[in-house]
């Protein structure tokens, strides 16, 4: 009898250890994918193309970031938007409009609105939530995305996390931790939008998807494409760079 109980205990313990290891590995996979794309700090040149059924427009920009809390974006084209900048500090966004010589702090009511008419929201820029700390993770069955063998990871927001999605599903390649697809689901478990990563190339000394496409599922023909022309990681930059004064003069 004692031996049977000992075997049952051992099997149960091993099972719990396997579940714990699986959960930990899912979190570590997400962390590695995030850190590979973000770095401790970065500088990038980016083009954003907004596509609609009857028109499209392109916006060129430079961006700087430091960790999860600091980011600065300078619009360089088209001419009508040149010099406009956006400063993200913690959970706040400031917008500098050179044409009217005015700085605007975006109120909370605008956080869910579209950023520059794209399929990204102001909330996406601020990143009020953290991919690393605001979710619980579980590994689902592996899948193939564009020829890459991928981990499929379900991310469930923690109860107190500032996240509008009921769940997020990420597809991360096993070989290089490339985030190739992210699906966003609402409380009815309907997929609301999907972001894909493609055109994998060496950039900034890392193998990365250089094209990110955000597609709102219910808005047929709508999509926003982010393309990285250049990126440099772990640059020498401090919190002082991300000031309201600097957003007016950065080039």
Q: Under a CB-based contact definition with an 8 Å cutoff, are residues 43 and 235 in contact?
A: yes
> Above 70 in pLDDT, residue 223?
yes
> What's the pLDDT score for residue 90?
82
Is 224 within the bounds of a domain?
A: yes
Distance of CA 208 to the CA centre of its chain: 14
Q: Find the mean pLDDT for residues 56-67.
A: 95
Is 10 within the bounds of a domain?
A: no
Q: Find the mean pLDDT for residues 62-73.
A: 91
Q: Find the mean pLDDT for residues 3-16.
A: 33
- Domains in the chain, number: 1
Is 14 within the bounds of a domain?
A: no
What CATH number is associated with residue 179? 2.50.20.10
What number of other Cβ atoms are within 10 A of residue 26's Cβ?
23
Give me the residues paired with residue 214 across strands.
195, 224
For tokens 């499929």, what's the residue?
152
Is 16 within the bounds of a domain?
A: no
* Domain of residue 162, residue span: 25-247
> Among the listed ranges 28-37, 138-147, 174-183, 226-235, which one has the minimum average pLDDT value?
28-37
Is 15 within the bounds of a domain?
A: no
Distance CA 60, CA 98 (A): 17
> Above 50 in pLDDT, residue 23?
no
| Helix and strand counts by DSSP (H, E) for the chain | 3, 14
Q: In which band, very low, low, confident or very high, does the pLDDT at 127 lie, cut at 50, 70 and 90?
A: low
Is 6 within the bounds of a domain?
A: no
Q: What is the pTM of this model?
A: 0.83
Is 4 within the bounds of a domain?
A: no
What one-character DSSP code corresponds to residue 239?
Answer: G
User: What percent of the chain is predicted at pLDDT more than 90?
Assistant: 69
> Above 80 in pLDDT, residue 141?
yes
Is 18 within the bounds of a domain?
A: no
């Amino acid at each position: 009898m004692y031996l049977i109980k000992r075997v049952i205990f051992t099997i149960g313990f091993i099972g719990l250890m396997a579940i714990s290891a699986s959960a930990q590995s899912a979190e570590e996979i997400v962390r590695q994918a995030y850190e590979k794309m973000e770095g401790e700090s970065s500088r990038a040149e980016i083009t954003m193309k907004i596509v609609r059924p009857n028109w499209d427009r392109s916006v060129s920009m430079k961006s700087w970031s430091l960790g999860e809390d600091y980011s600065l974006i300078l619009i360089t084209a088209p001419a009508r938007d040149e010099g406009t900048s956006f400063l993200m500090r913690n959970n706040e966004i400031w917008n500098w409009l050179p044409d009217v010589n005015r700085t605007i702090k975006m109120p909370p009511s605008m956080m869910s609105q579209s950023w520059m008419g794209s399929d990204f929201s102001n909330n996406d820029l601020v990143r009020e939530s953290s991919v690393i700390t605001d979710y619980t993770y579980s590994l689902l069955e592996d899948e193939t995305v564009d020829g890459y063998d991928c981990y499929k990871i379900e991310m469930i927001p923690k109860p107190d996390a500032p996240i509008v999605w009921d769940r997020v599903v990420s597809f991360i390649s096993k070989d290089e931790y490339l985030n190739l697809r992210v699906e966003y689901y609402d409380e009815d478990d309907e997929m609301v939008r999907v972001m894909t990563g493609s055109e994998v190339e060496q950039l900034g000394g890392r193998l990365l998807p250089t094209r990110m496409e955000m597609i709102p599922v219910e808005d047929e023909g709508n999509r926003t494409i982010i393309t990285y022309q250049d990126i440099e990681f772990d640059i020498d930059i401090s919190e002082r760079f991300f000031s309201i004064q600097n957003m007016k003069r950065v080039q």
